[in-house]
Structure 1
Amino acid sequence: MKQKIRKHWEALLIQLAIYILLDRNISRSAVVSRRDNNRMWGMSEELEAIRNRILDEYNNI
């Protein structure tokens, strides 16, 4: 039971990071370069894949 709660908690935190990184790409910021903005978008995609594997318990790798 504790493992299940932890799995969902970690997935939720990763989802929050994805949301933050994707939201950064919507509006251009004076402090973030386009290159870094694009890298953050790529990081969000990688995090989404990790989150999906955690929720799937690494059964479909």
Structure 2
Amino acid sequence: MKRFIRRKFEAWLILLAAKILMGRNVHRSPVVSRRDNNDMWAMAEKLEAIAKRISKKYP
């Protein structure tokens, strides 16, 4: 049971990081370049995939 809770919590933290990166996705920002914006979006998608694998116990 302890491992189950730990896995779910770790997956939740990774999803939180992904949501923060996706929240930084801004249109026509003078501060964040388009390339950095696209990179953050791609990182967020990768983090979501990792969180899903952790949560499902790497099937």
TM range (shorter): 0.7 to 0.9
SS at match of 1:57: coil
Unaligned stretches of 5+ residues in structure 1: none
Number of aligned pairs? Answer: 59
Structure 1 vs Structure 2 CA RMSD: 1.3
The separation in 2 between residues aligned to 1:22 and 1:28, in whole angstroms, is 15
**Alignment partners' CA distance in 2, 1:40 and 1:12:** 18
- Letter aligned with residue 12 of structure 1: W
Q: Residue deviations 1:9-54, cap 9 Å, x none? A: 1011011111101111134443321111100000001001101101
| TM-score relative to the length of structure 2 | 0.87
- Structure 2 segments unaligned to the other structure (5+ residues): none
Larger RCO (alpha carbons 8 Å, 6+ apart): 2
